[in-house]
Each structure stands twice: as structure tokens, then as C-alpha cells.
Amino acid sequence: MPRTAVIILNWNALQATLECMAMVRDWGLPSTDVIVVDNASESGQRQQLKLLESTIGTVLYNDVNRGYAGGNNRGIQFACSHNYDAVLLLNNDASIDAQSVKLLQETLAGHADAGMAGPLIYDGQFTNLQNAGGLDIAVHDITHRKVPEHESQPYVVDYVSGTVLLARTVMFERYGLLDEDYFFSGEIADFCRRCKEACMVHPGAKASHDTSQSGHLRSTLYTYYTVRNRYLYIRKNLYTPRWEFYPRWWRVHTRHAWSALKSGRCAEAGMVIRGVFDGMRSRTGAIS
């Protein structure tokens, strides 16, 4: 079994993090250690984490919220410096069993040209398939595949969902860490584009993603970052003149904002518009 660091990012969701850790312990997988990265949670949660350090193992603390990219980078750096073979990025609101984790490990072991692997991602009740692998975010409006390419064999995708992602640590040593300019959303697609090795999904591995705790943010902050970071991704990664891509995305995002306004979702419409303007102006990192 590869020596694996399971990186769990915590931001003001300590109970979810503790439940996620308990799930990892229940796997009973050898050579698997948990690394919790606290992304500048409120002081009360930090104090609770410090009291629990002896039972958790490794806890790393960021002084500021560095987003998904920066938070996970802290754990990845620790894993690389402590000679782990692989890292498993695991959202604290995700669920996956030991057998599925083993399938991801077997995918990397059986495909020398693969650098990372992910499962199928279902909703919180494991009823509806949400993500069967990622499509290029510069080209596709809906970037989550809804149907697996194969029923039982691993297949190559443009990028793997960051909800549950197993990667060889050597990938980060070769190609660098996640780009923190994105802050949240787009950084995994960007990293996979940088990598020469394949990104694969194993359809036999299944995970769920319960977004109920963060649902109130999905129409505002998550919408903003998804819109803005698409322009950052295009500017950074495409050699084709970006003016060939921007008009299409202006139309897409204008329709999105107008639809939100007509439905009374004014905050969402505002975030779409702000995301477009900030993306065009190359604004990076967190917004206030």
C-alpha cells in the first residue's frame, strides 16, 4: 500500500471535519495518515482543534484563509517533505469507503502514465450522479460529466474533481502546487492541464458530496469564483487568442445573470456580473 496522507481542509466546520476523520479511521487502511489543515477558522474552533491534536495526529494552522488551493497546498507541502507516496484530498463534507479508496490506489498502481485518480461523485444520498469526471472549463459550460465513459474500467478525463482526489506526491514536485490565484474553483482543472500524466476516473469507486452545509454560499461566492476563474484559466492556459473565447462566455454569463434577475435571485446575478468584470481585469485571490 502506498504511504498516503489524507488532507482534510477545515474552515469553521469542525463537526464535519471530525466526522470525516472518523470515517478515515474506519477504513482501517495501513500507511494512511490524516493531516488536518485549518484555514483560519474562528478562534473557538481553533482552540477545540488544539485540544484534539493528540487524537488527530497532524494539524496545520493557516493565519489567513488561503482558500481551497492554498489550504490544500499547506498539507501537500507537508506530505512531500515527509516522504508520502500519495495525497488524498478529501472534502470534509464528502464520504467514500475503503474499497473505493483501494480502487483509486490500484488505478495509480496499474497505470504508470496516470498521475491522479478520482471516483464518481454522487449527491449526499448516493442517489444522483453529479460528476463522472471533468471537462475542459475553457470550452464547456457544464464541466461535470453526467455519464461515465466506461462501466468498469478507468478512463481519462480533462480533470478530476477536487472533492475526492488521489494524486502521487511526485506530481506536485514536478509541476508545482495548486495555483492560489484561483482561491476556490478551477485550480484542479489548471493543475491537471499542467501535468503530462493522465488524470483518471475509476467508475467502480464511488463517493458522495453533501453540499447542504455550504448550500447558502453556492449561489453567491461559489458562483463568483466559478465565473471569474474561467477567465483566469483561459488567459493562463490557452494559446489561442482569448478574444475567440471571451464573447461566447460573455453571452453565457449574461444569460445566467438575466435568468437569475428574472427569478428574483439578485445576489446571484450580481455575483455573476462581478465575476465577469473581475475575470476580465485579472483579479485573483479572495474577494472581500
What confidence score (pLDDT) does residue 219 get? Answer: 62
pLDDT interval class at 100 (50, 70, 90): very high
pTM over 0.75: yes
Q: Decide which of 43 and 122 is more confident.
A: 122
Per-position DSSP letters for 185-201, written without gaps between them: SSHHHHHHHH-SSEEEE
Maximal C-alpha separation, the chain: 54
- In percent, the amount of the chain with pLDDT more than 70 equals 96
E runs forming strands in 32-134? 32-39, 58-62, 86-90, 94-96, 114-122, 129-131
- Whether residue 141 is predicted with pLDDT greater than 80 in this model: the reply is yes
Q: Decide which of 218 and 170 is more confident.
A: 170
For the domain made up of 4-209, give the CATH fold. Answer: Spore Coat Polysaccharide Biosynthesis Protein SpsA; Chain A (3.90.550)
Picking from 69, 12, 60, the residue whose alpha carbon sits closest to that of residue 36 is 60
pLDDT interval class at 240 (50, 70, 90): low
Question: What integer is the mean pLDDT of 225-230?
Answer: 96
pLDDT interval class at 241 (50, 70, 90): low
Domain residue spans of the chain: 4-209, 215-280
pLDDT, mean over the chain: 93
pLDDT interval class at 57 (50, 70, 90): confident
pLDDT interval class at 217 (50, 70, 90): low
**Residue whose grid cell is 481519462:** 156
- Whether residue 168 is predicted with pLDDT greater than 60 in this model: the reply is yes
pLDDT interval class at 205 (50, 70, 90): very high
Burial 21-30 (b: 16+ CB within 10 A, else e): bebbeebebe
What is the C-alpha to C-alpha distance for residues 41 and 62, in angstroms, rounded to an integer? 9
